Amino acid sequence: MRIAVINGSPKGDMSVTMQYLEYIRRNNPNKDFKIFNVGHDIKKIEKKPELFTEIVQEIGKSDGILWCFPVYICVVPSQLKRFIELIFENSAEEAFEDKYATALTTSAHIYDHTAHNYIHAISEDLGMKYVEGFSAEMYDLNKQEERENLLNFSADFFSHIEKNRPTENKYLPLSYATPEYVPGEIQEISKTGNWKIVLLNDAEKNDLNLRLMIDVFIKTLPNHVEVLNLHEINMRGGCLGCLRCGYDGTCIYSDDVMSIYEDKLLPADAVIYAGTIKDRYLSSRWKMFFDRSFFNGHRPVLQGKQGGFIISGPLRQIPNLRQILQAQAEVGRFAHVSLVSDEYEDSQYTTSRISDFAAQLIWALEKEYHKPVTFLGVGGHKTLRDLVKDMKPIFTEDYEFYKEHGLFDFPRQGIHDRAINTFLLPLLRIPEVRTGFQKRLKWGMIWPLQKELKRLPENVVH
């Protein structure tokens, strides 16, 4: 059996994920694993079309495909994202069609599910039969139970190939027939506001819808907007996962990314992200920028800022992408005002949504309104909080930031909590006390809230 391993890690063979692959390989000496370090070699692959063709031809000879990668900000590393774009750009889908595929990832279990959703959907878009992947925590390989799980996972994948077992198709094919956006004549609103608003985008010449949406947003916003195009800033490459930035927040690259944050985004009152969907995410250029923001570590450096997203493409068909964007905003404590797309037939409706977004942004800035976070933000924060606490020597800059901003909000038991645990719990073991307590439980739950309501007059309507 021949297995093509598409390694998306920029570290190549030194990747943590590849150590898990090596454990599988050594326990399956009868399987032929052909490894392609596309994450490490992506620049070379882009420059040499013959190298890309050679890789695809080798993949075409395989019986199964194993996507291997660390989870970078909810999805795959930008280097692997770019390789996936090359597959579609070069119409190389045939080499993947009808093959079995799965994914092997490593992470701290922070939005690893969205990364697996993405690669599952991409595999189906390539015509492959996807077997549910394996998401490992970084050092699970040191645990006997997890090593057994890993081998059972690989055995199940090999069994699917050998027995031609059926797999579940979870995702409908995407329809990229996005309607042409024709906004008509837009009356520009005078710029009277003094807010500092920055709009980042990746619009290219052929991204006409996105360019028009950005134009309408700027014209209908009563405030000047500084527009930055990611294709016009110097980004030397994707995040290398070297963790040099963990100690002092300094990236190993010398390019424009850190200065964009320090000179443009951090002083801003609001940040708008605008991009075009490419294969169930935004472009690899956007992914590179998001990945490179990791020089900020796990620090929510944009916390308190307003903003939102302007998206061109079939967003309603990709709920996973919507969740990723919302999660990035919530975990970053970034006030996600709105998310607007161009997927509606009625251009007038799209224009009204954009102009409403502009008005809502100014309102939120004036009111300092922040939506309450959902589980996406709460769960993400708690996972990162524990990670930063446990890995202080590596993420020193994160640790100091979390300590300074009160982000180490671990549950603490005060005198009130200790009293309840000490006295109330034993009392509730007495049937009569428990019965009386349960009768008053509904009132007890709302009583703390009633104190605030009593401050206000009762507006009773008869």
CATH code assigned at 26 = 3.40.50.360
> Do 357 and 227 share a structural domain?
yes
DSSP secondary structure letter of residue 315? G
Cβ(181)–Cβ(344) below 8 Å: no
pLDDT digits (tens, 9 = 90+) for 200-239: 999 999 999 999 999 999 999 999 999 999 999 999 999 9
Residue 460 covered by a domain: no
pLDDT of 118 strictly over 50: yes
Residue 173 covered by a domain: no
Exposed / middle / buried, residue 238 (Cβ in 10 Å: 0-12, 13-18, 19+): buried
Q: CA of 139: how far to CAs of 22, 142, 154, 234, in Å? A: 14, 6, 18, 35
Under the banding of pLDDT at 50, 70 and 90, the label for residue 434 is confident
Residue 393 covered by a domain: no
Residues of the domain holding 436: 415-453
> Do 353 and 310 share a structural domain?
yes
pLDDT, mean of residues 105-127: 97
pLDDT digits (tens, 9 = 90+) for 385-423: 999 999 999 999 999 999 999 999 998 767 777 777 777
CA angle 103, 106, 109 (to 5 degrees): 105
> Do 147 and 62 share a structural domain?
yes
> Do 262 and 212 share a structural domain?
yes
Q: Provide the 3-class DSSP secondary structure of residue 149.
A: helix
Q: How far is the C-alpha of 310 from the C-alpha of 331, rounded, in Å?
A: 19
For residue 424, the model assigns a pLDDT of 79
> Do 305 and 218 share a structural domain?
yes
Q: Work out the end-to-end distance of the chain between its first and last CA atoms, rounded to an integer number of angstroms.
A: 78
Q: CA of 361: how far to CAs of 265, 318, 341, 425, in Å? A: 16, 25, 16, 48
> Do 203 and 80 share a structural domain?
no
pTM: 0.94
pLDDT of 460 strictly over 70: no
